[in-house]
């Protein structure tokens, strides 16, 4: 049997294979209530039924003030639990383990949702930001913990903190945009304090069997600094790391001729550094079964995280594992920031033609 089809233990849960659905936000599927309507449950159920071992439900905001878009999913209110329960039940029916990604935009908060606030008052993407006070930091930390408690009530196997892609937790760890001089800025221990306090608080509130994961940058700004950040998260109690991009690496010499992207390479280096303390996942431009098998068989990663291949075809995992045909992602990037993602995805259009009920296709007016 190929290693991609072997189980992996994360905390006390067994994921049945090494393929995970990366978090992918769907703006405009719901309204400003942030409640997951039934369409979300069907969307995630399709990926679970399609053989995906672990599903990480999209960036879900812990506070209405930190949303990326007015219609982002939320877990800041008890009223939002029921919609998430439908997602977890739908995924569990097919044997998938399911986490939800907890998010706060920080500097990237949508102007209709709240001020652009983060660790420091800086110029960020040509706009002035505001510095969070100590009390505001504690309030947001507690919002992450409260959202995790709601996630547990909704039946999730765990949560993932969104600590990469330049959002709030990533802003704290980045020496480029965190200029604080208190205990949340300065050396690595201080810059990781916010993320670590969230991890520790969730662990304490949700118990030892609840998976706590972090999605963390592979180079921030150097590989070594990213490893130190990962070490701090492991020390604080994370069970699983997914490695992706961050605010930005400094000049790094990539080896030439790699069969995968530099973001995957960062992940393989972090995997090597972590050396089995917790499972590690890589992501970015992984579409072909040959590359999946290369990365897994050569022990360059523990799991393969895929967004676009699994948006294009919810049964991509079965395709990879069983060698059966699947609808291929065209790599056109239409899905990136498309307001009505993913019905404009050419692969979704193909699926819709053979299945008019295809939930991904529904056009939002
Ligand atoms: C439509 C879309 C939405 C995304 N939303 C999220 C998100 O909610 N959280 C996150 O961490 N990354 C998000 N990403 C990034 C993906 O999880 C992934 O890291 C990226 O697409 C690279 O993987 P891929 O090459 O398999 O698509 C999103 C990507 C896409 C295309």
pLDDT digits (tens, 9 = 90+) for 12-42: 999 999 999 999 998 888 999 999 999 999 9
The rounded percent of the chain whose pLDDT value lies above 70 is 98
User: Where do the domains of the chain lie, and which CATH numbers do they carry?
Assistant: 3-330 (3.20.20.70)
Ligand 1 atom 2: residue of nearest CA: 24
pLDDT for 365 = 53
- CB distance 162 to ligand 1 below 6 Å: yes
181-212 pLDDT, tens digit each: 999 999 999 999 999 999 999 999 999 999 99
- CB distance 242 to ligand 1 below 6 Å: no
- CB distance 24 to ligand 1 below 6 Å: yes
Q: If you measure from the C-alpha of residue 307 to the centroid of ligand 1, how many angstroms do you get, rounded to a whole number?
A: 5
- CB distance 284 to ligand 1 below 6 Å: yes
Mean pLDDT along residues 267-279: 98
pLDDT for 341 = 63
Half-sphere exposure of 353 (CA within 13 A, CB side): 7
Structure confidence at residue 358 as a pLDDT band (50, 70, 90): confident
- CB distance 58 to ligand 1 below 6 Å: yes
pLDDT for 360 = 86
Q: Inform me whether the pLDDT recorded for 361 exceeds 90.
A: no
Q: Inform me whether the pLDDT recorded for 66 exceeds 80.
A: yes
Structure confidence at residue 364 as a pLDDT band (50, 70, 90): low
* Ligand 1 atom at minimum distance from 335 CA: 1
Ligand 1: which of 20, 21, 22 to mutate, most ligand atoms within 8 Å of CB?
A: 22
Active-site entry in 44, 107, 167, 326 = 167
Structure confidence at residue 340 as a pLDDT band (50, 70, 90): low
Structure confidence at residue 349 as a pLDDT band (50, 70, 90): confident
pTM exceeds 0.85, yes or no: yes
Q: Inform me whether the pLDDT recorded for 261 exceeds 70.
A: yes
122-139 pLDDT, tens digit each: 999 999 999 999 999 999
Ligand 1: which of 23, 54, 285 to mutate, most ligand atoms within 8 Å of CB?
A: 23
Q: Inform me whether the pLDDT recorded for 362 exceeds 80.
A: no
Q: If you measure from the C-alpha of residue 20 to the centroid of ligand 1, how many angstroms do you get, rounded to a whole number?
A: 12
Q: Inform me whether the pLDDT recorded for 338 exceeds 80.
A: no
User: Would residue 167 show up in a list of annotated catalytic residues for this protein?
Assistant: yes
Comparing 166-175, 213-222, 249-258, 283-292, the range with the smallest average pLDDT is 249-258
Q: Inform me whether the pLDDT recorded for 282 exceeds 80.
A: yes
* Ligand 1 atom at minimum distance from 162 CA: 11
Q: If you measure from the C-alpha of residue 135 to the centroid of ligand 1, how many angstroms do you get, rounded to a whole number?
A: 31
CA distances from 37 to 41, 77, 85, 241 (A): 7, 15, 11, 29
Mean pLDDT of the chain: 95
């Amino acid at each position: 049997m190929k290693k991609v089809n072997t189980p992996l233990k994360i905390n006390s849960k067994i994921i049945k294979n090494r393929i995970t659905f990366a978090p992918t936000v769907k703006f405009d599927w719901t309204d400003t209530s942030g409640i997951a309507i039934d369409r979300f449950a069907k969307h995630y159920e399709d990926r679970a039924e399609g053989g995906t071992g672990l599903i990480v439900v999209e960036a879900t905001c812990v506070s209405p003030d930190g949303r990326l878009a007015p219609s982002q999913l939320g877990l800041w209110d008890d009223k939002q639990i029921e919609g998430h329960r439908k997602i977890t039940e739908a995924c569990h029916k097919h044997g998938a383990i399911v986490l939800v990604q907890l998010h706060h935009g920080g500097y990237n908060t949508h102007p209709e949702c709240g001020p652009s606030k983060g660790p420091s008052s800086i110029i960020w993407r040509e706009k002035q930001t505001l510095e969070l006070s100590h009390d505001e930091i504690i309030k947001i930390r507690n919002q992450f913990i409260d959202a995790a408690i709601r996630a547990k009530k909704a039946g999730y196997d765990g949560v993932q903190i969104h600590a990469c892609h330049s959002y709030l937790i990533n802003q704290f760890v980045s020496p480029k945009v965190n200029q604080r001089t208190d205990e949340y800025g300065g050396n690595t221990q201080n810059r990781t304090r916010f993320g670590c306090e969230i991890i520790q608080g969730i662990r304490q509130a949700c118990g030892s069997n609840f998976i706590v994961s972090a999605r963390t940058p592979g180079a921030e700004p150097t590989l070594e600094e990213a490893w130190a950040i990962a070490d701090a998260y492991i020390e604080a109690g994370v069970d699983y790391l997914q490695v992706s991009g961050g605010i930005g690496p400094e000049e790094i010499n990539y080896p030439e001729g790699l069969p995968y992207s530099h973001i995957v390479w960062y992940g393989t280096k972090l995997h090597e550094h972590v050396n089995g303390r917790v499972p590690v996942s890589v992501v970015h431009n992984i579409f072909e079964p040959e590359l999946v098998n290369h990365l897994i068989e050569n022990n360059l990663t523990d799991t393969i995280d895929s967004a676009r291949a699994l948006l294009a075809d919810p049964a991509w995992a079965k395709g990879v594992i069983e060698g059966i045909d699947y609808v291929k992602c065209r790599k056109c990037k239409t899905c990136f920031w498309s307001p009505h993602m993913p019905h404009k995805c050419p692969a979704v259009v193909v699926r819709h033609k053979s299945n008019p009920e295809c939930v991904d296709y529904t056009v939002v007016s």
